[in-house]
Structure 1
Amino acid sequence: MSETLPVDLNRDGLHDVDVPASFEADGSFAVTLENHGAPVHVHLRLDDELGEVATLEASNHYVEEGSTRSVGVELHGDLPASGRLKVVTGYGAESAYVDVNVVEPEERSDAIPVDDDLTTPRRRTTERNDDPGELRRNLPLVALGVAALALAVTAGLLVNGLAALFGTLVVLVGVGVAAYFLLE
């Protein structure tokens, strides 16, 4: 399906407008104004039916000699829809109409189907690892944690004070967090 509606200007004379009889799109599209002659002013207008589902980027355009200008048409309403696009040149001297039919987009063949289950978060399941080899590899870390805990408790008993108590609590929390991650 075409995404560009071609409009030829000044091909057979000044202010001449040549448009296809009809145009079909399945989404937003562009109107390409190709000028084959002298510079020209072009006015684009969507009829009421098409104007309910589409919006022109701009309605008045100046197209220089031998140049091409593209005008976007954004779709924003319920599809399918149809209507007419009016193309006017020479301040109303010449006009042409294009029947525009906007259809529902087809499902693409290269689209990847997504299961609805992917939209809901899943709970994380943890499996305990009771592998004796894994426990042996972590034994030095466990010994270091026990030594740090013993040192913190000893320091807390020997030094009477709030700082020693706070330090002991910090070491206890650290050892607890480390143990949690080791056993997970």
Structure 2
Amino acid sequence: MRHAEITVHVNRGSANTLEASVESLETHRDAAVVLRGHERPAHVHCRLDGDLDGVARIDGPNYYVEPDEVIGVPIAVDADRIDEPQTGELEVVTGYGAESIAIDLTITPGPPSVDVDESLSKPNRPHAASDGDEPSPKPQSPLVDRLGPRLDLETSTVAVVVLAALALAIATATAATVGGPITMVGLAIVAGGLVVALWLLLQ
């Protein structure tokens, strides 16, 4: 995130002059003073006053600014330590105290952190059966439940009828070819057995 910046022109137009780009600054994050040198070199001192102790700090306060040189002076801000705004001044001095400017500086509390439930980031997974659990059977429609036994019965019935008809046809052909009372008796026994078998199957 980009820092808030305050630009201070040093010796622009004449010696021992300071011009700030803003009169006040409000921030909850780190800031910086940008010293821009102009016609003449100068010693510049930066300091913080007011209720900013422990909330903001300048680690290196003293700078020597050459003409056309740009120096960034970092201001470290710790907004997490406060619950309400803290106000003070950023003072920039040059010419060994001959010229100074003060910029109102307000440090505000940082934005509240948002706690994210970690379970929301995990995809939902279907319940896996344990080693002792049997897999759940697939649901069937009521129509399949009603027709299943009936279809099985009709299939077996058709198979038996076909086999019976085939056996009866073979017996009839044999009786017609061979002839004789014994053959006719055998044909009658086969036909009777088939009738009994069909009757038992349909019960």
State TM-score, norm by structure 2.
0.52
> How many pairs were matched up?
125
Paired AA for residue 118 in structure 2 = L
Equivalent position SS for 1:61: strand
- Check conservation: 1:2, 1:24, Cα contact below 8 A: no
Residue number in structure 2 paired with 1:5 = 6
Distance in 1 (alpha carbons) for counterparts of 2:3 and 2:13:
25
**Residue ranges of structure 2 left out of the alignment (5+ in a row):** 137-203
Shift of 1:125: 9.3
Residue number in structure 2 paired with 1:157 = none
**Residue ranges of structure 1 left out of the alignment (5+ in a row):** 132-184
Kindly indicate whether structure 1 or structure 2 has the higher relative contact order, using CA contacts under 8 Å at least 6 residues apart.
1
Larger Rg: 2
Structure 1 pair 22/51, CA: closer, same or farther in 2 (3 Å)? same
Distance in 2 (alpha carbons) for counterparts of 1:84 and 1:125:
61
Distance in 1 (alpha carbons) for counterparts of 2:44 and 2:73:
11
- Aligned pairs (5 A) from 1:20-169: 20-76=22-78, 77-78=81-82, 79-106=84-111, 114-115=115-116, 117-118=117-118, 127-128=128-129, 130=135
State TM-score, norm by structure 1.
0.57
- Check conservation: 1:2, 1:25, Cα contact below 8 A: no
Identity %: 32
Distance in 1 (alpha carbons) for counterparts of 2:7 and 2:51:
21
Distance in 2 (alpha carbons) for counterparts of 1:40 and 1:125:
72
Paired AA for residue 93 in structure 1 = A
Tell me the alpha carbon deviations over residues 63-116 of structure 1, each in whole angstroms, 9 at most, x when there is no partner.
111111001111124252110011000111111111111223457xxx9x653x
